[in-house]
Amino acid sequence: MPIEIIPAIIAKNFTGLKEKIKKVEPYVKWVHIDVMDGNFVPNFTWNKPEELKYYDPGVFLEAHLMIREPEKYVEDWIEAGIKRIIFHIEATSDPKRVIKICRERKVEVGVAINPVTPLNAIEDLIKTGWACPPFGKEPEGPYCPNMVLVMANTPGFGGQEFKPETLERIKTLRGLYPHLTIGVDIGMNPKTAKQAVEAGANVIVAGSYILNSDDVEQAIEELKK
Ligand code: DX5
Ligand code: ZN
């Protein structure tokens, strides 16, 4: 499976968001925007999809919605031009609805899972698992997400450490679903990214390692290696 590196951006306002996207956009295809509501996670970020409407970056944007009841807001993000929605299994009582909305509106959808949540919480959604194709292709099952995003620590902040027990979770998922796109988010650097890929991940979401670097291009290259 091809490995993809996706820079993660935490921004307090739209100006900050645009500045950070500009830094990374020459080097990647996708950018991951972290969206926090101060409720599902104890932190706030920029959270105004309507501001994206007249903005046209040279990359595809995915929104990592760390917000409660994503089913209420997902349409606003799609309307704003987001091409992949990632929502948390812990944040909604109706994950199928979120996936259905995304599928009907022809955007990709990923389901994120926190370290404390048992993996079987998402099993129902990926039970057609082997049929889950990589990005850009239509999933076969009606509610099959395009990807699973394994959180390597409790979300809410950038710069946290990668919890090593995450590797077992990735291995388990890869064993169950050989063709599933598996992403990892939090604490990614060349060392942890290598471990995650060896365990079976094929998407690496990295925030501070890339954005805090003096040479963003070089940092992305290091991760790719
Ligand atoms: C954490 C966010 C992550 C975070 C990644 O709540 O979902 O995407 O920004 O940042 P690093 O790479 O610094 O852990
Ligand atoms: Zn994220």
Dist. CA 38 → ligand 1 center (Å): 15
Dist. CA 161 → ligand 1 center (Å): 10
Task: Give strand ranges (E) for the chain.
Answer: 4-9, 30-36, 60-66, 84-88, 108-113, 147-151, 181-185, 203-206
For residues 76 and 50, the answer to whether their CB atoms sit within 8 Å is yes
Dist. CA 8 → ligand 1 center (Å): 6
Could you give the residue numbers annotated as active site? 34, 185
Which of 157, 166, 222 has the most ligand 1 atoms within 8 A of CB, as the residue to mutate?
157
Of 83, 177, 174, give the one whose Cα is nearest residue 129. Answer: 177
**Other beta carbons less than 10 A from residue 188's beta carbon:** 27
Give me the tens of pLDDT residue by residue for the chain, a chain 225 residues long.
Answer: 889 999 999 999 999 999 999 999 999 999 999 999 999 999 999 999 999 999 999 999 999 999 999 999 999 999 999 999 999 999 999 988 898 898 889 898 999 999 999 999 998 777 643 334 444 455 555 455 678 999 999 999 999 999 999 999 999 999 888 878 899 999 999 999 999 999 999 999 999 999 999 999 999 999 999
Q: Identify the nearest ligand to the CA of 7 by its number.
A: 1
pLDDT of the residue at 136: 45
Rounded CA-CA distance 202/193 in Å is: 10
Q: Identify the nearest ligand to the CA of 36 by its number.
A: 1
pLDDT of the residue at 123: 82
Of 107, 112, 175, 166, give the one whose Cα is nearest residue 138. Answer: 107
pLDDT of the residue at 138: 54
pTM of the shown model: 0.94
CA-209 nearest atom, ligand 1 = 12
CB within 6 Å of ligand 1 — which residues? Answer: 8, 10, 34, 64, 155-160, 185-188, 205-209
CA-152 nearest atom, ligand 1 = 14
